[in-house]
Structure 1
Amino acid sequence: MKNRIKDLRNAANMTQQELSDLVSVSSRTIISLEKGQYNPSIILAYKIASIFNTTIENLYCLKENLENEEKNI
């Protein structure tokens, strides 16, 4: 699933390790999230969104992802 984690993290001058420490996951989890290889729990998504002062919907480009999914049906 497309997301904005890497963009927001870079804009905040934050490393993957720093973000992983803030949300209590491994840096490997952050890497997988950024690559769209792993979809987080609601709690993890909320924690990340809160750090970047955004919504889960914005963080995970939900409108865009839904539109892409509907095109593929």
Structure 2
Amino acid sequence: MTSRNLRLFGLHLAWLRKQRGWSQETLSLESGLSRSYLSGIESGKRNLALANICRLAETLAVPTPEMLDFSRHDASQLQVEQSRAPLRQPPAPRRSRPPCAIWRT
């Protein structure tokens, strides 16, 4: 899948999960897939195998083709989701540490 399709799939999966009132943890327990893996899928950062798409469809009780129906989610939602993402702060500059007190003269 392209990165755009991965993101759309993730949005769709999160939408289906939330329609059932499930947390990622609940979906993880029901599907047998790890919560961190599901989080990566929902954020569009993880690719997934067809077997896992089928497993998620079965767990969520939706037809497998519906898992790939992104028509509810469009590019404008992608931009909204990205704009909500927290900005990453650059790391603070490292300060050199003073030598250990016993080495001071």
Alpha-carbon distance, 1:21 to partner: 1.2
**Structure number with larger C-alpha Rg:** 2
- Percent identity between matched residues is 16
Note the residue ranges of structure 2 that are not aligned, 5 or more in a row.
1-5, 72-105
Per-residue displacement from partner, 1:36-66 (whole Å, max 9, x unpaired)?
111211111101011222233321336x6xx
- Distance, in Å, in 1 between the alignment partners of 2:44 and 2:35 is 14
Alignment of 1:1-73 (within 5 A): 1=6, 2-3=8-9, 4-61=12-69
Instruction: Select the structure with the greater relative contact order (CA < 8 A; seq sep ≥ 6).
Output: 1
* 1:68 corresponding residue in structure 2: none
TM-score by length of 1: 0.72
Return the letter of the residue paired with 2:58.
Answer: S
Alignment coverage as a number of residue pairs: 63
Q: How well do the aligned residues superpose, as a CA RMSD in angstroms?
A: 1.7
Tell me how far apart the structure 1 counterparts of residues 66 and 44 of structure 2 sit (CA, whole Å). 15
Name the TM-score, length of structure 2 as normaliser. Answer: 0.53
In structure 2, the residue corresponding to 1:49 is in which secondary structure?
Answer: helix
Instruction: Write 1 or 2 for the structure with the bigger share of helix.
Output: 1
